């Protein structure tokens, strides 16, 4: 019975007494101090749960305490108010202050606070994402007080309605494979288990269990812990029995790996209980199955995603890390921007390319790679080519095909550390170029075999692998569907753009590989021999990666002080490597002094036979054509005297080149 009923009964009795006893007055009635507006505070005790997991180490049980900022809702079922902790922070007995007008004999409380919403029924939530290292282990608590007294004399005992679970992860192994990794998140998937979500709590029915709506829980880490030592990560959950579900999966994500554990707990999660789950890597059996069985773990080496064509399409993509790469494979080269009016450009079938650079491939193939396993898991889906790269450095060529198996287009994948951009001083023509620090396809910018790069016939977009050592004519080892470069003489069938596109690993040997005659526009600079400009466009046949293109005719004139061809060492702006005789160092910011850029003796594939050649001269292509069957290039002779920045040589020769910023 509520106090206010007693109050009305007492008032009625007093009234009758007053009617019968004229000497009695209303002012003589017993005091009603303590009724109405009386609740200004109370003492709140957190009652310890009655369960600790068998796996919890002795003395490791968590003590639940009140913390600064904790608030609760106090209600009599009709009205409610919010009370905040005022004393007892750091202990399980706190003093809460607030104000509630109530004459009820029994008061109910809810933690965390639901504000001033009247009770006793409330909607509560256990979050589906929790900070694994900074959870509030109190979870959801309810309490009641029956002996209502003024101020903080009222006692309310809080009882946890949720469970706290601590996961013990241990990734340490004898090999210390994962010691440098850090946990980013843990996702728990227990299908059909009401771990988290929204539930309804009735404060007047303390024995009613709560039940969530989801078995998916994600644990995040404000500061990612390393896997070089065991880790504890805790979460709050509704009471449930995970032993009854098909599987309980723990997906642990680091920067480079995912670990998918499957392990059901050995006991029911009861309200108010503390539980421990051990997930030591050494205790699980490795598997490659998509979903591991109970007691198994699947370990996946995850790679960062790289969209190579995000900054524009091209015929070459540079990759500087292990990654899951992708690029748009429905565009030829750099697209319509790379089509020159009246350029005589064609596609793989010989059709004129004038206003569209689109293709619709149906399959993809790895033609070659210089390192086995450099490229893996190659796919084509919805016009996007995807593949994985390893940690190795090297080069590869990927092609897409039509329904009849014909190559429609191909792309050079260049795996190296990202080249530095070197801005050369203004040359004698008044132009300045920003060069890469290495040859196209090179995996080094230093005096070693990695600096040699790949070879290109003038005007073609696809690289041909060359020798892998200085002064060595041994054909390189290739891995993929194509094991070596094919040599084919130019004729009416083979000496076409269409044939070159369909056969990107074929050296079409002749003075000019185009049998029917020269095409000066292929690399975007048809007037480049006479009009020295850095603004020539990049074409769909340019072999450089996004943001770069081939250099103009005058780009290498800094190799001599005069800017012209010379055999006078006093005119050189380079220094040779007399000890190794592998190439030249160019002074690119001042004559004869300062910083240098390495240019190796790179060799070539000779235009008359297609064979590897290490002759007296070494060549670097520019975008500029020359008369007849020739184009403009840098050449130097291995006599340490002759340096020719304005040389011309046969377009059919497969030379290396170096890219400049667009």
For the stretch 157-195, pLDDT in tens is 999 999 999 999 999 988 889 999 999 999 999 988 999
Q: 229 and 255 share a domain?
A: yes
Q: 58 and 180 share a domain?
A: yes
Kindly report the backbone phi and psi dihedral angles of residue 545, in degrees, each rounded to the nearest multiple of 5, phi listed first.
-70, 170
Alpha helices in 101-260 (DSSP H): none
Q: Which of 415, 444, 464 corresponds to the end of one domain?
A: 415
pLDDT above 90 for 39: no
Q: Is residue 66 part of a domain?
A: yes
Measured distance CA(153)–CA(37) in Å, rounded: 15
Q: Is residue 22 part of a domain?
A: yes
Q: 217 and 290 share a domain?
A: yes
Measured distance CA(620)–CA(615) in Å, rounded: 14
Domain that holds residue 389: 305-415
Q: 99 and 150 share a domain?
A: yes
Give me the number of domains the chain comprises. 4
pLDDT above 50 for 546: yes
Measured distance CA(311)–CA(318) in Å, rounded: 12
Q: 473 and 490 share a domain?
A: yes
Q: Is residue 384 part of a domain?
A: yes
Q: Is residue 98 part of a domain?
A: yes
Residue 389 in tokens: 């790269």
Burial class (CB in 10 A: 0-12, 13-18, 19+), 513: buried
pLDDT above 90 for 639: no
Are 480 and 645 spatial neighbours (Cβ–Cβ below 8 Å)?
A: no
Q: 380 and 504 share a domain?
A: no
Lowest model confidence (mean pLDDT) among 298-307, 499-508, 611-620: 611-620
Q: 390 and 441 share a domain?
A: no
Measured distance CA(190)–CA(291) in Å, rounded: 13
pLDDT above 80 for 653: yes
Q: Is residue 439 part of a domain?
A: yes
Beta bridge partners, 83, equal 72
Measured distance CA(152)–CA(94) in Å, rounded: 10
When the pLDDT of each residue in the chain is averaged and rounded to a whole number, the result is 90
pLDDT attached to residue 58: 38
Q: Is residue 345 part of a domain?
A: yes
Are 209 and 169 spatial neighbours (Cβ–Cβ below 8 Å)?
A: no
* Arithmetic mean of pLDDT, 547-571: 96
Q: 4 and 103 share a domain?
A: no
Q: Is residue 420 part of a domain?
A: no
**Comparing C-alpha atoms, which of 174, 142, 178, 173 is closest to residue 160?**
142
Are 468 and 452 spatial neighbours (Cβ–Cβ below 8 Å)?
A: yes
Are 314 and 269 spatial neighbours (Cβ–Cβ below 8 Å)?
A: no
74-97 per-position pLDDT tens digit = 999 999 999 999 999 999 999 999
Q: Which of 415, 444, 474 corresponds to the end of one domain?
A: 415
Measured distance CA(537)–CA(549) in Å, rounded: 8
Measured distance CA(540)–CA(526) in Å, rounded: 14
Are 545 and 442 spatial neighbours (Cβ–Cβ below 8 Å)?
A: no
pLDDT attached to residue 581: 79
In the structure, what pLDDT confidence band is assigned to residue 553 with cuts at 50, 70 and 90?
A: very high
Measured distance CA(522)–CA(494) in Å, rounded: 17
Q: 283 and 244 share a domain?
A: yes
Measured distance CA(366)–CA(379) in Å, rounded: 10
378-429 per-position pLDDT tens digit = 999 999 999 999 999 999 999 999 999 999 999 999 999 999 999 999 999 9
Q: Which of 280, 301, 322 corresponds to the end of one domain?
A: 301
pLDDT above 90 for 465: yes
239-257 per-position pLDDT tens digit = 999 998 989 999 999 988 9
Measured distance CA(42)–CA(151) in Å, rounded: 6
Q: Is residue 421 part of a domain?
A: no
What proportion of the chain, given as a percentage, has pLDDT over 70? 91
In the structure, what pLDDT confidence band is assigned to residue 62 with cuts at 50, 70 and 90?
A: low
In the structure, what pLDDT confidence band is assigned to residue 460 with cuts at 50, 70 and 90?
A: very high
**Comparing C-alpha atoms, which of 550, 546, 620 is closest to residue 318?**
546
Q: Which residues contact 5 (CB under 8 A, 6 or more apart)?
A: none
In the structure, what pLDDT confidence band is assigned to residue 554 with cuts at 50, 70 and 90?
A: very high
**Cα within 13 Å of Cα(67), Cβ side:** 10
Compute how many other C-beta atoms are within 10 angstroms of the C-beta atom of residue 435: 22
Q: 333 and 463 share a domain?
A: no
Q: 6 and 143 share a domain?
A: no
Are 217 and 207 spatial neighbours (Cβ–Cβ below 8 Å)?
A: no
Q: 73 and 161 share a domain?
A: yes
pLDDT above 80 for 56: no
* Arithmetic mean of pLDDT, 105-129: 94
pLDDT attached to residue 187: 97
């Amino acid at each position: 019975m509520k106090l206010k009923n007693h109050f009305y009964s007492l008032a009625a009795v007093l009234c009758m007494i007053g009617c019968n006893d004229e000497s009695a007055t209303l002012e003589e009635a017993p005091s009603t101090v303590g009724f109405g507006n009386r609740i200004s505070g109370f003492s709140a005790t957190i009652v310890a749960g009655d369960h600790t997991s068998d796996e919890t180490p002795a003395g490791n049980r968590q003590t639940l305490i009140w913390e600064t900022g904790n608030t609760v809702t106090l209600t009599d079922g009709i009205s409610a108010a919010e009370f905040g902790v005022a004393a007892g922070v750091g202990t399980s007995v706190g003093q809460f202050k607030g104000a509630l007008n109530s004459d009820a004999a029994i008061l109910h409380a809810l933690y965390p606070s639901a504000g001033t919403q009247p009770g006793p029924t409330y909607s509560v939530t256990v979050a589906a994402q929790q900070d694994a290292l900074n959870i509030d282990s109190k979870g959801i608590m309810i309490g009641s007080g029956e002996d209502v007294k003024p101020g903080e004399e009222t006692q309310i005992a809080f009882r946890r309605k949720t469970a706290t679970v601590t996961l013990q992860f241990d990734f340490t192994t004898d090999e210390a494979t994962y010691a440098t990794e850090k946990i980013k998140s843990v996702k728990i998937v227990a299908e059909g288990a009401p771990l988290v979500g929204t539930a309804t709590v009735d404060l007047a029915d303390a024995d009613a269990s709560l039940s969530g709506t989801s078995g998916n829980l994600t644990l995040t880490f404000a500061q990612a812990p390393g896997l070089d030592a065991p880790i504890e990560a805790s979460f709050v959950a509704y009471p449930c029995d995970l032993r009854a579900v098909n599987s309980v999966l723990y997906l642990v994500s680091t920067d480079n790996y995912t670990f998918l554990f499957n392990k059901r707990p050995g006991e029911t999660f009861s309200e108010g209980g503390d539980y421990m789950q051990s997930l030591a890597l050494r205790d699980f059996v490795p598997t490659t199955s998509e979903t591991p069985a109970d007691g198994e773990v699947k370990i996946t080496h995850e790679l960062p995603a790289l969209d190579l064509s995000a900054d524009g399409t091209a015929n070459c993509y540079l990759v500087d890390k292990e990654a899951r790469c992708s690029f748009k494979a429905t565009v030829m080269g750099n697209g319509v921007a790379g089509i020159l009016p009246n350029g005589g450009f064609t596609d793989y079938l010989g059709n004129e390319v004038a206003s569209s650079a689109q293709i619709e491939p149906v399959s993809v193939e790895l033609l070659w790679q210089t390192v086995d396993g450099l490229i893996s898991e190659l796919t084509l889906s919805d016009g996007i080519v995807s593949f994985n790269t390893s940690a190795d450095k090297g080069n590869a060529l990927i092609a897409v095909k039509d329904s009849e198996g014909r190559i429609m287009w191909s792309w050079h994948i260049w795996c190296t550390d990202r080249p530095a951009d070197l801005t050369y001083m203004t040359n004698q023509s008044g132009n300045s170029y920003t060069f890469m620090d290495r040859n196209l396809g090179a995996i080094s910018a230093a005096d070693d075999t990695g600096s040699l790069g790949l070879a290109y016939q003038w005007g073609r977009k696809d690289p041909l692998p060359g020798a892998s050592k200085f002064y060595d004519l041994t054909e390189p080892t290739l891995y993929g569907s194509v094991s070596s470069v094919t040599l084919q003489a130019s004729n009416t069938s083979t000496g076409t753009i269409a044939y070159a596109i369909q056969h990107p690993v074929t050296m079409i040997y002749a003075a000019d590989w185009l049998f029917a005659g020269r095409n000066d526009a292929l690399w975007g600079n048809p007037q480049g021999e006479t009009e020295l400009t850095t603004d020539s466009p990049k074409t769909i046949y340019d072999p450089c990666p996004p943001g770069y293109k081939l250099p103009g005719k005058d780009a290498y004139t800094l190799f001599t002080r005069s800017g012209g061809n010379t055999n006078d060492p006093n005119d050189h702006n380079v220094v040779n490597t007399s000890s190794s005789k592998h190439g030249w160092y160019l002074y690119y910011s001042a004559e004869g002094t300062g910083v240098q850029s390495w240019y190796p003796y790179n060799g070539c594939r000779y235009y008359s036979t297609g064979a590897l050649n290490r002759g007296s001269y070494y060549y670097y292509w520019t975008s500029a054509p020359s008369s007849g069957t020739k184009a403009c290039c840098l050449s130097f002779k291995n006599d340490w005297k002759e340096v020719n920045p304005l040389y011309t040589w046969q377009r059919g020769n497969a030379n290396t080149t170096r890219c400049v910023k667009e």
